[in-house]
Amino acid sequence: MLERYLSYVGAIKNLSSHSIRAYRKDIESFLDFLERRGIALKEVSFHDVRRYVSELSKRELSSRSINRKISSIKGFFKFLRKEGYIESNPMDVIGSLKTENALPTFLFEDEMDEFLDIETKDFWSLRDRAIFEFLYSTGCRVSELTSLNLKDVDLKNGTVRVVGKGRKERIVYLGREGREVLRQYLLKRKYYVKSDSPDGMNALFINQQGKRLTDRGVRYVLAKYISQSNVLKRVTPHTFRHSFATHILNRGADIRIVQELLGHSSPSTTQIYTHIGLDKLKRIYLNAHPHARIRDAKNRKGR
C-alpha cells in the first residue's frame, strides 16, 4: 500500500524524487512504530497515533518536524480510506502541534559581502564562490541549484530557468558579480568534468569526482567556509535564500515580486521570509504616525 501511495502521490502532485523520499521516510517511521507494537495497519486507532506523536516529542523533535510527519501520515491514511483498505480514518481527529513563527537566520549585507570575499586560489575555490554567489543572487533552494543543467543558464541575459517544487518553472536572475564568477567557473569547468558521466557532463555544478554536485556536497562545502569565517551565526544554504529575500525587501521590492522570485504559490508562504530591519521600521513609523512625527520634530528642535 505504501508503494501504491507513493506512486499515486508522485503522479498526482508531480513531486520530485527528494519529496518522495521524504514522504517514504515519514511513513516508514510510523509503520515501524506499529510493527514494534504488533499493531496491524487496518487496526490503527486514534490512541495509537497519539502515542506515536508522544514518542516523537520525547525524541525532542521540533513541532515543525512532527507536523511534517503528521501531514505525511494523514495523506497516506486518506489514500487508504479512498482505496477501501480501511473503514475509518484515525487521522481525521489528529491536529497539528502549535509552532512558533521563528524566522530563519539571515546575514546582514556587510556580513554577506565579507563572507563572499573568497580568495579563488584554484578551480575548486572558484566553484565554491560561484555556488555561494549563485544562491545569494537568485534566492534558489539548494535542491534547485544542484539539479540545474548547463542549458538552463543564459549568461548573456543573466537569467536561469529553475524547476522548483511541484515541477513549477520560473526564471531567476544573476547579478553582475554572480554572472562574472559563474562565467569564470564555466571557462574552466570542462577540464574537470568526467566524460564518462552523462549526468555530470550536463550538470552546472560538479564535485571533485567530476560528477553532479549533491545537496549534501553543498552543505559540506558551506560548513567548511563558515568554520573559517568570522560568521558566528548558524548558516545553511537556506540562509542565502532568506538573506536574498530580506535584502531586496529592505531595498523596496514588492512582496509579490519576491514571491515570484522565490517560487512561492501563495503570498502567505513568502511572509516567512519577510521581516523589516528595525531602522527601516522606525523610519516608516515616524513618517506614518502623526503623533510620532510631531514628537520627533519637537525632539530635534529641543536639541
User: Is pLDDT of 302 > 70?
Assistant: no
Cβ–Cβ < 8 Å for 160, 148? yes
Quick check: is 165 catalytic?
yes
Who wins on pLDDT, 278 or 23? 23
For residues 72 and 258, the model is more confident at 72
Q: Known catalytic residue: 264?
A: yes
Answer yes or no: do 159 and 204 share one domain. Answer: yes
Residue 267 confidence (pLDDT): 63
pLDDT tens digit string along 50-96? 999 889 888 878 888 888 899 999 999 999 999 999 988 988 878 77
170 and 236 in a single domain? The answer is yes
Edge to edge, the sheet with strand 153-154 lists 153-154, 159-163, 169-173
273 classed as catalytic:
yes
User: What are the angstrom distances between the C-alpha of 145 and each of 89, 223, 224, 236?
Assistant: 39, 17, 19, 14
Higher pLDDT, 236 or 292: 236
Give yes or no: 241 in active site.
yes
Could you tell me if 135 and 76 lie in one domain?
no
Considering the candidates 74, 161, 165, 194, report the single residue annotated as catalytic: 165
pLDDT tens column, 123-179: 999 999 999 999 999 999 999 999 999 999 999 999 999 988 777 889 999 999 999
Between 35-49, 204-218, 238-252, the lowest mean confidence (pLDDT) is in 238-252
Is 47 labeled as catalytic in the residue annotation? no
> Both 143 and 228 in a single domain?
yes
Question: Does residue 284 belong to any structural domain of this protein?
Answer: no
Q: Is the pLDDT of residue 297 over 50?
A: no
Residue type, 36: R
Quote the crossing angle between the two packed helices 109-116 and 123-138, to the nearest 10°.
160
**Domain assignment of residue 137, yes or no:** yes
What local confidence, expressed as pLDDT, does residue 102 receive?
A: 57
Q: What is the mean pLDDT of residues 16-23?
A: 84
pLDDT score, position 300: 47
Q: Which amino acid, 234? A: R
Looking at the structure of the chain, the number of domains it has is 2
Longest dimension (CA), the chain: 78
CA–CA distance, 19 with 29 (Å, rounded to integer)? 16
User: Per residue in 191-241, pLDDT tens?
Assistant: 999 988 899 999 999 999 999 999 999 999 999 999 888 888 889 999 998
Q: What is the CATH number of the domain that holds 89?
A: 1.10.150.130
From 34, 61, 93, the end of a domain falls on: 93
All three cell numbers of 279: 531602522
Catalytic residue among 69, 127, 129, 141: 141
Side-chain half-sphere of 105: how many Cα atoms within 13 Å?
12
Confidence of residue 296 (pLDDT cuts 50, 70, 90): very low
Does residue 14 sit in the same domain as residue 139? no
Minimum mean pLDDT among 22-36, 73-87, 160-174, 282-296: which range? 282-296
Q: How many CA atoms lie less than 13 Å away from 84 in the CB half-sphere?
A: 0
The yes-or-no verdict on residue 34 having pLDDT over 90 is yes
283 counts as catalytic: no
Of 51, 78, 238, 275, which residue is the catalytic one?
238
Q: Tell me the residue range of the domain where 81 lies.
A: 2-93
Task: Specify if 281 maps to a domain.
Answer: no
